[in-house]
Structures are given as C-alpha cells and as structure tokens.
Amino acid sequence: MTALLLAGALALLSPAEVPWCGQAKITGYSRYEYGPFTADGTSIFTAEPIAAASWDVALGSLASIEGLGVYRVADRGMLGRGEPMPWVDVAVWDRATAFSLTSVRRVCFRRPAL
C-alpha cells in the first residue's frame, strides 16, 4: 500500500512540492563493484550524489536523506517494491562507507524541477 501511495504522489504533484516524506531503509553500495553505468545511463563515477531506489520511486527523483544530503535516484537494484518502506541505496566510494550507512532514516522524495 505504501508503494502505491508513494508512486501516486510522485505522479500527481508538481515538481516543486515534496510529495512524500517518511521512514526509508538506507544502505550503501560501492561504485567500484558494479557496472560502469546506472539504470538511467549515468556514469557510476560521476561526482554527482546518486543513489539506487526501490521500484516505487521514479528514476530522476530527488531523495533528501536526513543527515546525509540530497541524492538523485539514478539506479535500481535488488531493492524490491518498497514494502514495508521505500529503500535507498547510496552510491559511495568504498565498502566501509557503504556498510556504515545501513539504517532507517527520514527521507523526502520529490521530482526535480524541470
């Protein structure tokens, strides 16, 4: 149900609005351990803060993660459909950082301004 509400909110609200805020599972992954491009074609080695997200979050959405910053959703993974909560997997430069991010944090998802 959460996944349907999140997807519906992202589709209906204007880009400048924050359509959904709540608890999300946060993990990290090393940019060196997977292919050279994300699901949307971005180089995994970009300096831009990027993340993968569960399938209930639209590619291109911005995820403002409490205590970490804002990340553009550029990738997918084996993150499921966001039940019981959305999942954000932050792209980082090393495994130690990836492991240290594992937590549940408040996240606000919004579409980028056009």
- Alpha carbon distance 60, 76 (integer Å): 11
Query: Comparing 28 with 3, which gets the higher pLDDT?
Result: 28
Residue with tokens 């979050």, as numbered in its chain: 57
Percent of the chain with pLDDT over 70: 83
Environment class of residue 108 by beta-carbon count within 10 Å: exposed (0-12), middle (13-18) or buried (19+)? middle
> What domains are there in the chain, each with its CATH number?
2-110 (2.40.40)
How confident is the prediction for the chain on average, in pLDDT? Answer: 86
Beta bridge partner(s), residue 87: 25
Q: Is the pLDDT of residue 9 over 70?
A: no
pLDDT band at 15 (very low <50, low <70, confident <90, very high): very low
pLDDT 10s digits, 62-113: 999 999 999 999 998 777 777 888 999 999 999 999 999 999 999 999 998 7
